[in-house]
Structure 1
């Protein structure tokens, strides 16, 4: 596999028995689907070992806003999205295989934001609460409810008309 940022070969290494692909050219790391769960919390030794290993690489000047292709599914452009409601870490996720690419330093930043699963869950709850209290979202949800109500009325009317005609 090739590094999506530098096109150099990725090196597969085992960390705590789990194989991950790293870029020695830019310090990025590719996790296959569901592998991140073994590295993302501060108490997980694998993550600490991986971050220490990646820290030895110096990233070149790169355009991180550029969309990249998945190292595994080379014809698929990865989706760029925020990892959390805090909007502090933007990662690349493959819609095909579910793999995740972390650029240099992003994994360490993630582990600092959410040291434990409970921190991630609380951030999600806080985001949901703030969203539900936001007047803009309340107006949006009101519009949706009004459209659903209208659709139900039209459906009942249509059923009434159809039963009366035949």
Structure 2
């Protein structure tokens, strides 16, 4: 179970961070990102650039994990919640849709005989705080059946201020 918790934590934090580091969406090949039509009333929001404290909790984790992450400014037309595809990964769907309170996330990617589907929401003011609630389902030959039922996780993020001089955008540290 500890191994699966680590995968989940990595996935949760990865969704939060990798998209912010990339500054763009990959819209080519089988890793196409679903472009959502944004109603005129909804202006997509992204986390304020700077240092964020992110506390990750998930089923199967004995204690919450806190990380400090230096977030970069998000490139126009992208979100901080769209991770770039990883080498060898094929994504059947990768959708991040703006809502009145944040975003909905719906992804399904496969690699190395394992498929991971993630659904959830991101909400907050994105200047002082935001929260991500996800359900992750994993299937594959080496995955226990319980992984397919879904594991809930959340990230509570609080803005701390400017990034310290010794941290680069996209860098995270535990604690």
TM-score range relative to shorter protein: under 0.3
Greater Rg, structure 1 or structure 2?
1
TM-score (norm 1): 0.26
TM-score (norm 2): 0.25
Higher fraction of helix = 1
Asked which structure has the greater RCO (Cα within 8 Å, sep 6+), the reply is 2
Higher fraction of strand = 2
